[in-house]
Amino acid sequence: MASKTAQKRLTKEYISMQKEPPPFVWAVPDEKNILTWNYLIRGPPDSPFAGGEYHGALLFPAEYPFKPPGIKMFTPSSRFQPDKKICFSMSDFHPGTWNPAWSVATILTGLLSFMLSDEMTTGSVTSSDSHKRTFAAKSHAFNLTQSRFRDAFPDFCTPTLRDLPNMGERERGKADTGSTSADTTLSQQMNLRRNNGVVQTPVATTAPITTDASNALTSTNKPVVPPGWSASWRQIIWEKWRWGVLIALAVVVSRLSAGS
């Protein structure tokens, strides 16, 4: 039976997994026992496991997160022995190196990374890339014959492979990045200003320059003033210089045109 700490922690991790699943992995706790989680790993593109679907289990101790889980993979993969515990740094083979800050997402991401390596350990097997590809091609059909797979993942019991919630699109550069979003926002702002009749001029990226009311602004960052404007108008605009100078210029131009 899970301790209160384990129950609370694993519940929180399930919520986190639902919101932000790691690339190529998915996991759900058993309905009757939260200490047992079924997971799916999908073989990443450009790997010998591409197109493969690998079902396994995380077996958490009642003392989790202070002790690590046991880890098994049920689907034949030509990398791990089916239904045998796998020894790697985040499993119960290495309690001395376990970090309580690690989570289900961390463990499965580490397992995927270990799966893609050639490191040998307890529970692993040696095989060629061609063998791994052969097993990958048969993996989904094998899973469909297993009652524990069907019980754990009814939504994935489809004739053909169904994508996991995160298939690594962002990691492969197929999703917008934060900088792109920022650039888009800036572009939209510039277009809005053009549509409002404001002429875009370079704006300094430093802090706004303040001046004494009796002195004219002499900064090299001042906007270009069209010839023919009166000195008084120029003086007023320069003294009111702030980050909103472009909007102020548009207002002045509009009023001057209306009065002529």
Catalytic residues: 87
- Amino acid at position 235, single letter: Q
Class of residue 207 by CB neighbours under 10 A (exposed 0-12, middle 13-18, buried 19+): exposed
Query: Long-range contacts for 130-135 (Cβ within 8 Å, ≥24 apart)?
Result: 131/78, 132/48, 132/49, 132/52, 132/77, 132/78, 132/79, 133/48, 133/49, 133/50, 134/78, 135/52, 135/76, 135/77, 135/78
Distance CA 62, CA 64 (A): 6
Q: How many whole angstroms from its chain centre is CA 182?
A: 17
Q: What is the CB-side half-sphere exposure of residue 231 using CA atoms within 13 A?
A: 1
Contact 201, 224 (CB under 8 A): yes
Contact 154, 148 (CB under 8 A): no
Three-class secondary structure of residue 25 per DSSP: strand
